[in-house]
Structure 1
Amino acid sequence: MANGFAIITGASTGIGFELATLAAKNGYDILVVADEPLIDAAAEDFKQFGTEVQSVQADLSTIDGVDTLLAATEGRQVDLLCANAGHGLGRAFLDQDVRDWRLVVDTNITGTAYLLQKVLRDMVARNQGKVLVTGSIAGYIPGAFQAVYNGTKAFIDSFVAAIQNEIKDADGVTLTNLMPGPTDTEFFARADMLDTDVGTDPKKADPAKVAQDGWDALMAGKAAVASGLKNKLQSAIANVTPNAVLAEQHRKMAEPGTAKN
């Protein structure tokens, strides 16, 4: 018998891949989803741990895509959800195509909020379940040259804290916000940020370590975790630093052409 049934979104690469690995290692049957065919190859890797693995390709920036994911559960109770799917986007906002920044908003905010509403509603009704949401310390920082992405993470960080309060009487339900900093994943290539200081920084966090930090916090029933000491300090400092200063600091990391040789 499995320990339960878990959904992991954005599981084809990066933090989501590592979270799916942890879920399978810990005895969960898993349903993994991403918006690319690579999710099927990832699913084959997860099968090594001996639990049931199902993959689905769906666009979680749309309500229909989230409904496709939920239909794939075939009514099975969701015991654990890792809401990790997200898109990034670098460069100046005024130079971005509306389709590109809408994808970031619709994936990171609309799709995530809808998925959480659907899954948490059932968990709260039975007073049992665990949810890990991938927010970001970016949500504390006005993201010059990454403005839309950081704005969406500000929403997520605030939204999760608010929902935690709303469901506080459901003491059998855990909702945890994982807040990583820059992590060594495909994020920066996909966000067109490989000519930036942050995109080429060799000291980015290991996604396996970030995922483990999130998993441990979830299992311990914590409300939030900033993965890594540097990120813990950065999020604390951001709370007392003027926005104009934070935005200028972010500019030095994310402005195109700032990559160090």
Structure 2
Amino acid sequence: MASAIGKLAVITGASSGIGFELAKMAAQEGYDLIIAADEPHISDAADELRAFGVSVESVKTDLATTEGVKSLVESIQGHRSQVELLMANAGVGLGHGFLDQDLDSIRHIINTNVTGTMELIHAVGNLMRSQRSGRILITGSIAGFMPGTFQAVYNGTKAYLNSFSFALRNELKDSGVTVTCLMPGATDTRFFERADMLDTSVGQAKKDDPADVARVGFDALMAREGDVVSGFRNKVMAAVANITPAEMLAEQHRKMAEPGSGKH
């Protein structure tokens, strides 16, 4: 186990999937952990992570709310260790056409992926800047490179995060704090089930292993890299998206995310 005792890693969306794997990697490096999610399984994840011999605190909170973010920030401020890693991984999706989606569900996507993430990074980023050290990992997505037909709100939030990460990284370039953006593709997590997208082509297609995705992101974070796309296929998709007209990308996304497309 590497010597990082007395330093703290904070991971959101850590009850399963990429977030849990990121937390596991931080634990293997000897970091104390605060892990957060909006579901009860976060306490089970904490029990698993304690097997690595580190301190683990779980916070069940809804990061779509200001109160939920404040609850997590209070836990960070009250911890005996100095926060060195923030992995802002919490995110949710929503399938189907925009006009067919419930407005409360739409607000929840935006408040989780964007507003809550911004509030958390603002609070923790200030702590890191004051101590002149820290690393922030933001889970964006290659979805942010293309118009998300039948996933319009989610892709829009990821486009925001991708852009935000580069801007914040530049603002902090002389502060001792670095920002890294992890941009995965479709990953084998509960995302598509929770987004009601299991009947789509992308929902039924083969997906990346969350442990592999997390490893790419964690290594980039520790190396203080600016951004990383996980997986060769996703790197190709990201490169192609940069030179493809938006109207064509939107049509391609329709074929992946239209409800019922997985039955064709």
TM-score (norm 2): 0.96
Q: Deviations over 1:97-116 (max 9, x none)?
A: 00101100000000001111
Match of 2:226 among 223, 227, 248: 223
In 1: Cα distance, 2:93 partner to 2:187 partner? 12
State percent identity of aligned pairs: 57
Amino acid in structure 1 at the alignment position of 2:186: P
Amino acid in structure 2 at the alignment position of 1:57: K
- Does residue 55 (structure 1) correspond to residue 58 (structure 2)? The answer is yes
Structure 1 gap ranges (5+): none
- Does residue 34 (structure 1) correspond to residue 17 (structure 2)? The answer is no
2:140 corresponds to: 135
Aligned length, in residue pairs? 259
Contact 2:172/2:178, CA 8 A, preserved across alignment? no
Contact 2:147/2:249, CA 8 A, preserved across alignment? yes
Match of 1:181 among 157, 179, 185: 185
1:99 corresponds to: 104
Match of 1:152 among 143, 157, 160: 157
In 1: Cα distance, 2:231 partner to 2:202 partner? 16
Contact 1:130/1:218, CA 8 A, preserved across alignment? yes
Structure 2 gap ranges (5+): none
In 1: Cα distance, 2:13 partner to 2:103 partner? 22
Amino acid in structure 1 at the alignment position of 2:40: P
- Does residue 234 (structure 1) correspond to residue 237 (structure 2)? The answer is yes
Q: CA deviation at 1:73?
A: 2.3
In 1: Cα distance, 2:53 partner to 2:103 partner? 43
Amino acid in structure 1 at the alignment position of 2:146: I
Residues 68-77 or 29-38, more deviating = 68-77
Q: CA deviation at 1:235?
A: 1.0
TM-score (norm 1): 0.97
Contact 1:14/1:185, CA 8 A, preserved across alignment? yes
Contact 2:10/2:86, CA 8 A, preserved across alignment? yes
- Does residue 195 (structure 1) correspond to residue 199 (structure 2)? The answer is yes
1:210 corresponds to: 213
1:88 corresponds to: 93
